[in-house]
Amino acid sequence: MSSEAIVTDRGCDCGGPPRPESLPDLRLRSVVELAQDMAGALTPLEAVRVAAARATEALGATMAAVSVWDRESGRLRVLVNHGDLAPGEQELPEDESYPVADFPEIVTYLEERWTTGRLPRAWVQTAQSVEPHAGHAHPTAGAYCQERAAALRRRGRGCCVVAPIVLHGQAWGELYLARALGMPEFTEADADYATLLAAQVSAGLAQTERLADLRRLAFSDPLTGLANRRAVDERLEGALAAHNREDTVVSLVVCDVNGLKRVNDQLGHEMGDRLLERFAHQLSLAAAKLPGSLAARLGGDEFCLLAEGQKADEVVAVAEELCARALALSEGEGVACGVASTGDSIGPVTTPDRLFRLADAAQYRAKAARAAHPVVAGRSHGPGFSPDPTVLLADAADPHRRADGRRGPTGRAGSGDRRRFRGAAHSADPGQLLTAVLASLDQAADARSVHPADSLGKLVVVAETAARLLDAVGWWVSYVPPGSQLMRTAQHAVYRMTSGPSSRRAETQRAQIEAPDAVFDLRHYPMTRRAVRGGAFALRAGAAGNDPAEEAMLVVSGYRGMVAAGGQNAAGGWLVELFADDATLPLGQAACAMRTLVAVALAGPASPPGV
């Protein structure tokens, strides 16, 4: 086979002019696009902005707004306005809200949900309406109806449709869409469609919440609620970049809780956990005295405090107070505390590893001496200590690692002893998937089988672990250079061939195995393009609303489904794809977790494939 890259068109050219889409087809496609765009949102605000924009387009409205019900104040607070705004309206209003009592229809429809079990329907208001919406009368609805009709006219709008948004079985807010004066009024069919859009917005908000929960799980310690080692690594990368660019002082305090094993052995692990929680509280109080600092639990009885921008003396003073507070904790025996700061004489610090080694060495010396005060790297105690013994100890701890941070001869992905997750059973549970893949990433980092800047290597760990847990057919990791629309498959694996008589399918699969450098033009694949920007999607062959180009890829290759998740870092755009056959566990519920895992893998330093 030629070594040249294969340019593949996933689409299907059936010939002939394109057929015009019917209104139902257009509306179905709009719902699918709304779901896809909300799936790509990283924050709740981004999700509602996408929802407002897509809903405006789907219903032919001139503006849309999404509001949330603030139960404490009893008001609908506008989160976002989109489209043609009236004087005084803002796209992201700081304080635009309305009493819920002004919308008796909302109360009526929500009551209907509890009595009938059906989702609340949208209702239509026109600038000429003087009567409340038929079938949902309310004692004060007539007066409110007239007021809202007048409000529409003042804003130059002829009609609106309002759809309540229900999240987790409770009223969350509303989707409001309006048309300008002179445009056709919304119909009952439009109201039904707005109800469907609001339901999809609800699903998108639920997914965004789930993504936020997964991100918190990925970057926080479940016992103490502090940040975890992964969060520290990500923050430290940025802090040292600022230090090397602007000479900002970066300080790291590493603490080891003394006596935890004794407490666990004599009083039980529950008391040990309480000791850790109490120290975590003290560490949080210490962090509050250093604005912008990060308190974290590294694992077991190890904690750290990362400070950026404060003087070294200020950090040492906070560490002194922390040691004193730790000694006062019941059951515990204080902490061994080490400090390393670029504001002290510790030599150049260009990598997180070196700062951690310095802080660890200082903490080791504090523990060995059972010191009640922190040991500070670069500050010798007593005569004859030149150079500083803590700095010597730190630099001797890893003699094979180069001081400039560049990878050595075993820094490439796949070299060394790569430890893999060996689960006893396959699972499609997002929580187990997250736990398993994060454990594999941590193992790879601890074994140094994957360099911290090896983006491809870390994504291969994600793809490989997830594929084995889900019993997937195989996986691809692809790369998009900065500014390019061409996606190249950088690495892949196929675990088993899919069954079927299609010779074209077999040829395609052989091409996948033999030519991992296939190239795809992202302009032909909107779902993939959105995923590369930081989104995710799942596709099941034969499902309604599938993108034709993406489904053609599945059909030709003999796959039954796929999940794709991507993201970007300084090296470019990335995509991880897992492929399914009938034996694979359901992939749909894994999309959100995969998106989080890709984001974790892409955090920190970066390099393109082959570097």
Interval 10-24: pLDDT, tens: 444 444 445 556 777
More reliable by pLDDT, 46 or 387: 46
Fold classification of 40-216 is: Beta-Lactamase (3.30.450)
Q: Which pLDDT belongs to residue 414?
A: 32
Q: Is the dihedral of CA 141, 144, 148, 150 positive or negative?
A: positive
Pinpoint the residues of the chain covered by CATH 3.30.70.270.
222-396
Interval 456-482: pLDDT, tens: 999 999 999 999 888 888 899 999 999
Would you say residue 119 has pLDDT above 70? no
Paired strand residues for 67: 78, 174
- In CATH terms, 222-396 corresponds, of 3.40.190.10, 3.40.50.300, 3.40.1180.10, 3.30.70.270, to 3.30.70.270
User: Are the C-beta atoms of 607 and 454 separated by less than 8 Å?
Assistant: yes
When pLDDT is averaged across residues 146-156 and rounded to a whole number, the result is: 86
Beta strands in 472-522 (DSSP E): 474-480, 486-494, 519-521
| The three-state (H, E, C) secondary structure of 316-336, written as one string | HHHHHHHHHHHHCCCCCCCEE
Q: Which of 57-61, 256-260, 395-399, 448-452 has the least mean pLDDT?
A: 395-399
Q: Which pLDDT belongs to residue 394?
A: 73
3-state secondary structure of 196: helix
Interval 306-363: pLDDT, tens: 999 999 999 999 999 999 999 999 888 999 999 999 999 898 898 888 899 899 888 9
d(CA 579, CA 557): 10
Q: Which pLDDT belongs to residue 508?
A: 42
Q: Which pLDDT belongs to residue 570?
A: 92
More reliable by pLDDT, 491 or 509: 491
Pinpoint the residues of the chain covered by CATH 3.30.450.40.
40-216, 430-602
CATH class of 430-602: alpha beta
Q: Any idea what the Cα angle at residue 499 is, between residues 495 and 505, rounded to 5°? A: 90
d(CA 98, CA 82): 18
Most confident of 109-123, 156-170, 380-394, 583-597: 156-170
Q: Which pLDDT belongs to residue 374?
A: 94
Tokens for 474, please give them. Answer: 């195989």
When pLDDT is averaged across residues 80-101 and rounded to a whole number, the result is: 90
65: amino acid identity, one letter: A
182: left (phi over 0), alpha (psi -120 to 50) or beta: left
Question: Closest by alpha carbon to 405, among 362, 452, 444?
Answer: 452
3-state secondary structure of 380: coil
Q: Which H helix or E strand runs over 160?
A: strand 157-167
d(CA 249, CA 236): 12
3-state secondary structure of 579: strand
Phi, psi torsion values for 129, nearest 5 degrees: -65, 135
* pLDDT classification of 397: cutoffs 50, 70, 90: low
Burial class (CB in 10 A: 0-12, 13-18, 19+), 116: exposed
Tokens for 144, please give them. Answer: 């409110």
Tokens for 479, please give them. Answer: 């790369």
Burial class (CB in 10 A: 0-12, 13-18, 19+), 478: buried
d(CA 177, CA 23): 19
